[in-house]
Amino acid sequence: NGTRFTMALFVGATFTATSVAITAAVLLEFNFLKDPVAQTILGAAVVDDVLGLIVLSVVVGTSAGRVSALDLAILLAEAVGFLAIGMAAGVYVFRRIVLRIQAEGKKLGLPHSGFLIAMAITFLFALTAESIGLSAVVGAFLAGSVFAGAAFQKDFSEGARHLAAVFTPIFFVSLGLQVNVPAVAAQIGLIPLAAALTVVAVITKVIGCSLPARLAKMTAHEAVAIGWGMTPRGEVGLIVAVAALTAGVIGDALFSVIVFVLILVTILPTPLFKRALRAVERERRPADESSSDVTETKPRGG
């Protein structure tokens, strides 16, 4: 059944991307941001987000009835092609244009001129993504990636923070308004589904990320820390859930369950991630102490 297949794809897509907001805060608390563990998590999360958006693009296409193997292959090619062409055009054309406008605007006392043009380009990317059957989220994410690391990134981050202060609460309020607790209570069968989704969402990330880290010659404690650091889900999953609800693929009850599970798998891993980082610290401490002892004893021997 195409509808059930699409529903299953949407549910799976909500748990694809990692949210590193909480993970980054914990890494900062432990002063781990420059550690290989943190670099691995943050680097993998970027790749994870790109893959998650490709999955979202394919799933959005299937909601329009494109569910054959050929259709899925075309959708995947469209998503990858859009990302590749958009990144090339963004870096070599749009970013240079915005940089020039930003520099000229500052001379004229218009420090936010570049940011305004960048926002217009972001909307253009989002519109282009929608017009070829992908999600607007893919276009917006791609535009943000284009401007990351540019000379004017600090100015843009400041402008983005102001916009986020206005629109983020609106997004979460609208999200909360669509959560239907009575609908979940009326369908008791969804409660075991919520429990199963929570367990699967946690186990797949922990094992799926810890095992490659271990194979990459990281210690067991470092590998486990990476697994727990990659476990939280968040904003991308919520956006996918809203897209599924808006498209009529899932109902209020299943949407509410997904939101609840996403919140759980964002909050629950945090204490376990902290515990894993403490284990990494304990594991390294004897080595650090012994190396410092060696350096201290050498001058005495001389």
Which fold is adopted by the domain 2-282? Answer: Na+/H+ antiporter like fold (1.20.1530)
pLDDT for 80 equals 84
Residue 66: what pLDDT? 61
What the block records as the tokens of 267 is 């909050």
Instruction: Give the pLDDT of residue 83.
Output: 86
Q: Are 66 and 84 in contact (CB under 8 A)?
A: no
What 3-state DSSP class applies to 291? helix
Q: How many residues does the chain have?
A: 302
pLDDT at 182: 83
| Model pLDDT, residue 20 | 75
Question: Kindly report the CA angle at 206 between 202 and 207, in degrees rounded to 5?
Answer: 115
User: What's the token pair of residue 223?
Assistant: 């590998």
Cβ-contact 261, 201 below 8 angstroms: yes
**How far apart are the C-alpha atoms of 41 and 30, rounded to whole Å?**
14
Helices (H), the chain: 2-14, 21-29, 36-63, 69-89, 95-107, 113-131, 136-147, 153-178, 181-186, 190-215, 220-229, 235-246, 252-267, 269-301
d(CA 258, CA 262): 6
Take residue 219 and report the two structure tokens written for it: 């210690």
Give me the pLDDT at residue 64, please. Answer: 66
The Cα 136–Cα 242 span in angstroms is 13
DSSP code of residue 65: T
Give me the pLDDT at residue 65, please: 64
**Euclidean distance between CA atoms 22 and 150, whole angstroms:** 25
pTM (predicted TM-score): 0.71
Smallest CA-to-CA distance from 52 within 134, 154, 117 is with 134
Rounded CA-CA distance 267/264 in Å is 5
Q: Residue 233 has what pLDDT?
A: 85
The C-alpha atoms of residue 54 and residue 68 are separated, in whole angstroms, by 17
pLDDT tens for each residue of the chain, 302 residues long: 447 877 888 888 888 888 877 888 888 888 888 889 998 998 888 788 777 777 777 777 776 666 667 777 877 788 888 889 999 999 899 999 998 998 888 888 887 888 889 899 999 998 998 887 777 777 888 888 888 777 777 777 778 888 888 887 887 787 787 888 887 777 887 889 999 999 999 999 999 999 999 999 999 999 999 999 999 987 778 888 888 888 788 888 889 999 999 988 988 899 999 999 999 999 887 655 555 554 554 554 44
Which residue type does 87 have? M
In angstroms, the CA 144 to CA 181 distance is 35
- Could you tell me which residues come within 8 angstroms of residue 257 by beta carbon, excluding any fewer than 6 positions away? 184, 190, 193, 194, 197
Closest CA to 231 of 16, 86, 69: 16
Torsion, Cα of 277, 283, 289, 292 (10° steps): -80
Return the closest-CA partner of residue 159 out of 120, 121, 119, 122.
119
18 close to 45: Cβ distance less than 8 angstroms: yes
Domain assignments of the chain as residue spans, ordered by start: 2-282
